[in-house]
């Protein structure tokens, strides 16, 4: 990218985006940045996906940031446009997903006057972004973008906003385009090798949690999950994928040590608590994974805790680790493989198989029919049977998701996408982004009736761009999760009526967009419906499941109030 030629700032920005490997931008158009859309329309290399809601556009960009090695990119208008996108930016911040948000702004001459839809983005975005970069100097537009990609992708990845005033796009500039900045990649230090290997070799009952940073490594380095499996086998380690990262380890592999999700079932947790070492390998660590800061206890873990995360700021922020390693988790896996397994790891065999046996028992497709609708377990188990080896599954937030984590046996090659921090509305847009990024593969979105009407409108975007995700909607007629929490915290108080939802016929709703619509009213209809839905592949499918509200989650049924194993 040369400095000699004069061009518009919009053209320079478009070329800089292309130089950063951007091939797709998700947007809802706005008058504040039409200069940039205009320039992008001259460049076939970047596809604009025009969405129906900025949250949808930004959730799609979040998904894209997980499906490829670069930040996802969304473009929204000022004020109302950005405000709509906030929920997805919040997810990117908590979930450590690289995201570049391009945001239109009022003209520079009007700054501070509260001009139409003007907002102070540094204030608005202070707690949900890594940086807000305001481009007030056209000559710095390209440099600002290069900085935004660098910051979004470096260390703990996250969202960066680039604020672009409406009047800069058509200005001529002779400024040079900025190429991408090479990522500085930390590796485990040689000196720490003995200690690292020593701690892991000595443990008799280690737990190894694998999370988001390893999922990111697996996108850049497809051998990462194979390497993890070899490490587990040779070093005799149990591997536990963390909350909403189930695709990192084959659930059927004998070294699978149990899913470390939201509220681990008591039997598995009791066994896990016998551990004498916990290694968080690319897991940032949250209240969810740590079972509300109890395992490991914050700030002083009750067992030696090794934290591997690509950012030293994060290690030691909440928990005091025994050992902190600031690098990509896959580097630690490779280093341990290169070192070779130490003598004596066989002593862990019984520990690994004990954890695995509990996990296998929990995976068993066991459930009872419910009196007031289809038990969603039946639907999820049917999807599990029909899921392709390279399928993508997305999940919105809600109790229906507990059935996915209890009954579906994921394996590497499959992809799982969700707002790890639990934002409703993410499931459908993420499915659209996955269907665009992984053409020809099966994409299944699980949604509650709450989430389906929050962001299910992006089925229109799927139709517009010719992709065919399958939406499976659990219609239990209420905001079930909140009903359950109300029932648990305030027993005897009404919740079924207060959390109730009046729903449309979702199959007919899907058909009105051009999708195929299927209704499941009884358990006997589940298997043929799912088999049909997953075989269509040519247009979106909506499977409307009339599910039980009494079966509150995969673990709890209202009429007995009990928690299953």
Ligand X SMILES: Cc1ncc(C[n+]2csc(CCOP(=O)(O)OP(=O)(O)O)c2C)c(N)n1
Q: Which residues bind ligand X (CB under 6 A)?
A: 87, 397-400, 422-425, 448-451, 474, 476, 478-482
Concatenated DSSP letters of 227-244: HHHHHHHHTT--EEEBTT
User: Which residue number, 414 or 476, has a Cβ lying nearer to ligand X?
Assistant: 476
Cα distance between residue 372 and residue 152, in whole Å: 47
Name the 3-class secondary structure at 441: coil
CB of 87 to ligand X, least distance (A): 6
User: Rounded to the nearest 5°, which phi and psi values hold at 328?
Assistant: -65, 135
Between 19 and 86, CB nearer to ligand X: 86
In the numeric block, the tokens 């604020």 are attached to 163
Quick one: tokens of 340?
């070779």
Which of these, 102, 101, 118, 104, lies nearest to 31 by C-alpha position? 104
Distance CA 471, CA 466 (A): 15
Of the candidates 11, 10, 12, 14, which has an alpha carbon nearest to the alpha carbon of residue 22?
A: 14
Contact yes or no for 455/481 (Cβ under 8 A): no
Nearer to ligand X, 228 or 447 (CB): 447
Tell me how many degrees the CA angle 336-337-339 measures, rounded to the nearest 5.
Answer: 65
Give whichever of 158 and 425 is closer to ligand X, judged by the CB atom.
Answer: 425
Residue 336 or 455 having the CB closest to ligand X: 455
Measured CA distances, 435 to 314, 392, 469 (Å): 33, 8, 6
* Lookup: tokens for 465: 């761009």
Nearest in space to 385 (alpha carbons), one of 245, 526, 522:
526
Residues with Cβ < 8 Å from 297, sequence gap 6 or more? none
> Which of 235, 204, 454 is closest to 334 using CA atoms?
235
CB of 491 to ligand X, least distance (A): 19
| Closest CB 484 distance from ligand X, rounded Å | 7
Shortest Å distance, C-beta 26 to ligand X: 18
User: Which residue matches tokens 């862990």?
Assistant: 348
Give the residue with the Cβ less far from ligand X, 87 or 272: 87
- Closest separation between CB of residue 428 and ligand X, Å? 11
CB of 451 to ligand X, least distance (A): 4
Classify residue 222 by its DSSP letter: T
Between 255 and 474, name the residue whose CB sits nearer to ligand X.
Answer: 474
Q: Which is nearer to ligand X, 239 or 499 (CB)?
A: 499
CB closer to ligand X out of 289 and 423: 423
- Give the pair of three-digit tokens for residue 419: 């707002």
> Which residue's Cβ lies closest to ligand X?
448
Peptide bond into 489 cis (omega under 30): no
Q: How far is the CB of 136 from ligand X (least distance, A)?
A: 33
Is the Cβ of residue 115 or residue 496 nearer to ligand X in the bound state?
496
Distance from the Cα of residue 99 to its chain's centroid: 12
3-class DSSP state of 219 = helix
User: CB of 199: closest distance to ligand X in angstroms?
Assistant: 37
Task: Give least dist CB 422 to ligand X, A.
Answer: 5
Residue 412 DSSP symbol: B
Q: How far is the CB of 289 from ligand X (least distance, A)?
A: 17
Least distance from ligand X to the Cβ atom of residue 488, Å: 13
* HEC string for 292-340: CCECCECCCCCCCEEEECCCCCCCCCCCCCCEEECCCHHHHHHHHHHHC
- CB count within 10 Å of CB 220 equals 13
Q: How far is the CB of 201 from ligand X (least distance, A)?
A: 42
Question: Which residue, 398 or 469, is less far from ligand X as judged by CB?
Answer: 398
Q: Name which of 140 and 553 has its Cβ closer to ligand X.
A: 553
Task: Provide φ and ψ at 62, rounded to 5°.
Answer: -60, -45
For ligand X, the closer of residues 196 and 557 by Cβ is: 557
Query: Is the Cβ–Cβ distance between 169 and 35 less than 8 Å?
Result: yes
Residue 331 to residue 343: CA distance in whole angstroms: 22
Q: Could you tell me the smallest distance in angstroms from the CB atom of residue 399 to ligand X?
A: 4
Q: Is 109 exposed, middle or buried (0-12, 13-18, 19+ CB in 10 A)?
A: exposed
């Amino acid at each position: 990218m040369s400095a000699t030629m004069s061009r518009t700032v919009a053209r320079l920005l478009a070329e800089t985006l292309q130089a950063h490997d951007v091939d797709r931008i998700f947007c809802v158009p706005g008058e504040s940045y039409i200069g940039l859309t205009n320039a992008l329309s001259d460049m076939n290399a970047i596809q604009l996906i025009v969405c129906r809601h900025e949250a949808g556009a930004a959730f799609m960009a979040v998904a894209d940031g997980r499906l490829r090695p670069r930040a996802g990119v969304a473009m929204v208008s000022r004020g109302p446009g950005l405000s709509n996108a906030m929920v997805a930016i919040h997810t990117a911040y908590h979930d450590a997903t690289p995201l570049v948000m391009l945001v239109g702004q009022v003209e520079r001459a009007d700054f501070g006057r509260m001009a139409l839809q003007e907002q102070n983005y540094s204030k608005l975005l202070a707690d949900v972004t890594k940086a807000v970069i305001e481009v007030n100097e056209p000559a710095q537009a390209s440099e600002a973008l290069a900085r935004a990609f660098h910051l979004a992708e470096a260390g703990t990845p996250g969202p960066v906003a680039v604020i672009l005033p409406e009047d800069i796009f058509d200005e001529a500039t002779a400024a040079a385009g900025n190429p991408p900045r090479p990522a500085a990649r930390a590796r485990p230090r040689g000196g720490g090798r003995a200690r690292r290997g020593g701690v892991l070799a000595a443990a008799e009952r280690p737990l190894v949690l694998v999370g988001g940073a390893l999922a990111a490594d697996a996108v850049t380095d497809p051998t990462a999950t194979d390497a993890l499996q070899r490490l587990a086998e040779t070093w005799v380690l149990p591997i536990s994928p963390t909350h909403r990262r189930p695709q990192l380890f084959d659930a059927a592999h004998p070294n699978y040590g149990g899913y470390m999700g939201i509220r681990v079932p008591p039997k598995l947790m009791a066994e896990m608590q016998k551990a004498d070492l916990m290694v968080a390998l690319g897991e940032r660590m949250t209240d969810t994974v740590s079972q509300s800061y109890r395992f490991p206890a914050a700030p002083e873990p009750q067992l030696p805790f090794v934290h591997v995360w690509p950012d030293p700021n994060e290690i030691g922020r909440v928990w005091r680790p025994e050992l902190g390693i600031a690098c990509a988790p896959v580097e630690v896996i490779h280093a341990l493989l290169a070192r070779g397994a130490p003598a004596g790891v066989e002593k862990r065999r019984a520990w690994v198989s004990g954890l695995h046996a509990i996990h296998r028992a929990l995976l068993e497709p066991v459930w009872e029919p419910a009196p007031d609708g289809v038990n969603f377990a039946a639907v999820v188990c049917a999807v599990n049977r029909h899921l392709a080896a390279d399928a993508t599954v997305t999940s919105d937030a809600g109790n229906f998701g507990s059935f996915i984590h209890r009954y579906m046996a994921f394996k590497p090659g499959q992809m799982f996408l969700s707002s790890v921090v639990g934002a409703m509305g993410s499931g459908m847009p993420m499915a659209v982004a996955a269907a665009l990024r992984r053409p020809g593969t099966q994409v299944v979105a699980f949604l509650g009736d709450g989430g389906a009407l929050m962001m299910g409108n992006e089925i229109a975007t799927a139709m517009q761009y010719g992709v065919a995700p399958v939406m499976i909607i659990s219609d239990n007629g209420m905001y079930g999760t909140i009903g359950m929490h109300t029932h648990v915290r305030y027993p005897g108080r009404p919740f079924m009526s207060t959390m109730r939802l009046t729903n449309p016929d979702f199959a007919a709703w899907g058909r009105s967009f051009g999708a195929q619509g299927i209704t499941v009213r009884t358990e006997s209809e589940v298997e043929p419906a799912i088999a049909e839905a997953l075989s269509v592949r040519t247009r979106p499918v909506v499977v409307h499941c009339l599910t039980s509200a009494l079966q509150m989650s995969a673990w709890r049924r209202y009429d007995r109030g009990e928690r299953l194993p």
